[in-house]
């Protein structure tokens, strides 16, 4: 492929990757931002979301769009409740102690993975996208006959990938409204800034934590439902999103929602564009190191404030 179309395609793919990253990381961003605990099981909530999407889609049958919409409602609810329960019976009991939370959530990760393996099985199972049309894209060039438009080989995107980009933007906006324009958001921000002070003002901090934990997990599940038609449900799929989410949240700046979005765009786009210039694995290595360097020069992340 010529350089121009190649770069365009890689950028488009980078944008899709950024949307996926933002969707997977946003739940962790809230949990991490408000509660300051390292939840190793976050990726597993994402995985359960994908598995539920498969499960709902195979029960509903008929048109894939129906199953998709049903999953978009059901998965976040189930996963959110599951997470809130785990918060109440485990994390609250250990008082959100940072070290113990790590061990407890590793335990949770083992439990969730094993149960999924025993019920859902070890295979990767696909979920049909509600719609998926291939859209060929044109490219412009100055040739012998002046300005020309042509359709390069392979330059295309699918309607579902475009939809995911818009869905990510919509969810981000909704969340931003929730955090800045509503009382729930006010309570969450108050708890984030100073939980003792919030308690003194009569905010039921423990209940807020349960809700936040549930909301974060629910968002991860919603992200999974959106992503699973492009990837597949698999019992080990939570691993990479977990790591990527952590990276996105920290690069963006802990507790900053806009930071998370900017970091997702930076990481997704650099991953896409760098892949144009180097062989695949080398591109990954370079992209990883470039992003790590952000922290070397901005230790609190892009939008983070120094403590």
Partner 1 sequence: MKNFDLTKSTLTRRKVLKTLGAGVAAASILPRLGGIAHAATSEPIRIGFQAHRTGIGAAYGRWYSRATSAAVTRINDMGGINGREVEIITEDDGTDPKRGAEVIEKFAKQHEVDVAFGTLYSHVVYGSAPRAGELKLPYFVVSEGHHVASGKLNRYTLQPGITDVKSQVQAMAPFVADNLGKKVTMIFPDFAFGHDHRDFFTAAIEAQGGEVVESIAIPPTETSFTKYFPRIPRETEVIYHVMVGPAVLTFVKELGEFFGPNRPELFGFIDSLEAVDFASPGLEFLEGSYFWEGMARYAQADQTDIDKTYRAAVGVDNNGASISDSRDVATFSHMFGCWETLNIIKRGMETCGYQGPADRQSLIEAVEAMSDMPYSLDHPQGAKRFNGKTHQTFGHQYISQVIDGKLVVKHKTSIEDGLYEDEVDYTKQSF
Partner 2 sequence: MTDSKRSIILHLSFIAVLALVFFILPDYHTGNLARIMVLAIFAMGYNFLFGYTGLLSLGHALFFATGMYGLGMTMQFFDLSSGSAFIAGLICALLVSAIIGALALRTVGVAFMIITLMFSQAGYLIILYFGEYSRGDEGFIIAREARAFMGFDLSDETNRYYAALILFSICFLVIAKLVNSPFGRTLIAIRENEERAKMLGYDVAKYKLIAVIISGVVSGAAGASYALLFGYVGATFATVQYSIFPLLWVLLGGAGTTIGPFIGVLFMFYLIDLSSVVTPAYMLIAGVVLVLLTLFAPQGLAGELRKRVFKWLP
Phi and psi for 149 in degrees, rounded to 5?
Answer: -110, 135
Site string for partner 1, 55-74 (x = CB under 8 A): ---------x----------
Nearer to partner 1, 113 or 192 (CB): 113
Q: Which stretch binds partner 1 (CB under 8 A): 84-92, 94-102, 110-118, 207-215?
A: 110-118
Q: Which stretch binds partner 2 (CB under 8 A): 124-132, 198-206, 223-231, 285-293?
A: 285-293
What is the enclosing helix (H) or strand (E) of 242?
Answer: helix 239-252
Residue 211 CA to residue 192 CA, distance in Å, equals: 13
Phi and psi for 140 in degrees, rounded to 5?
Answer: -115, 145
Give min distance, CB of 28 to partner 1, in A. 17
Q: Which stretch binds partner 2 (CB under 8 A): 8-16, 145-153, 216-224, 281-289?
A: 281-289
44, 62, 84, 149, 239 from 110: Cα distances, Å: 9, 35, 18, 54, 12
Strands 146-150 and 139-143: antiparallel
End-to-end CA distance of the chain: 48
Q: Which stretch binds partner 2 (CB under 8 A): 68-76, 87-95, 166-174, 177-185?
A: 87-95
**Per CB under 8 A, 100 contacts partner 2:** yes
Give min distance, CB of 258 to partner 2, in A. 18
For partner 1, how many residues bind (rule: CB under 8 A)? 43
**Per CB under 8 A, 301 contacts partner 2:** yes
59, 173, 227, 272 from 209: Cα distances, Å: 33, 22, 27, 36
In the chain, the DSSP E strands lie at 134-136, 139-143, 146-150, 156-158
Give min distance, CB of 88 to partner 2, in A. 13
Site residues (vs partner 2, CB under 8 A): 32, 38, 40, 90, 93-94, 97, 99-104, 106-115, 117-118, 239, 243, 246-247, 250-251, 254, 281-282, 284-285, 288-289, 291-292, 295-296, 299-301
């Amino acid at each position: 492929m010529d350089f121009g179309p190649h770069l365009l395609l890689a950028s488009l793919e980078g944008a899709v990757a950024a949307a996926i990253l933002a969707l997977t990381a946003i739940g962790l961003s809230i949990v991490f931002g408000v509660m300051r605990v390292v939840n190793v099981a976050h990726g597993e909530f994402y995985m359960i979301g994908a598995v539920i999407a498969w499960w709902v889609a195979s029960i509903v049958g008929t048109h894939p769009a129906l199953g998709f919409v049903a999953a978009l409602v059901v998965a976040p609810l189930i996963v959110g409740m599951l997470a809130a329960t785990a918060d109440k019976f485990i994390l609250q009991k250990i008082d959100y102690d940072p070290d113990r939370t790590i061990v407890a959530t590793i335990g949770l990760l083992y439990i969730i993975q094993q149960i999924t393996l025993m019920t859902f099985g070890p295979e990767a199972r696909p979920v049909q996208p509600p719609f998926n049309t291939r859209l060929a894209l044109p490219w412009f060039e100055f040739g012998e006959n002046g300005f020309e438009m042509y359709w390069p080989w392979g330059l295309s995107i699918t309607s579902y990938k475009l939809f995911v980009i818009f869905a990510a933007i919509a969810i981000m906006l909704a969340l931003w409204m929730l955090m800045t324009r509503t009382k729930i958001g006010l309570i969450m921000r108050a708890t984030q800034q100073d939980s003792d002070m919030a308690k003194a003002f009569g905010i039921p901090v423990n209940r807020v934590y349960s809700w936040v934990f549930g909301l974060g997990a629910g968002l991860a599940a919603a992200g999974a439902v959106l992503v699973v038609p492009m990837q597949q449900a698999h019992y080990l799929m939570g691993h990479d999103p977990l790591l990527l989410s952590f990276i996105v949240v920290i690069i963006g700046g802990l507790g900053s929602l806009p930071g998370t979005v900017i970091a997702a765009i930076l990481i997704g786009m650099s991953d896409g564009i760098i892949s144009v210039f180097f062989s695949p694995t080398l591109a990954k290595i370079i992209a990883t190191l470039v992003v790590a360097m952000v922290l070397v020069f901005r230790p609190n992340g892009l939008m983070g404030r120094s403590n």
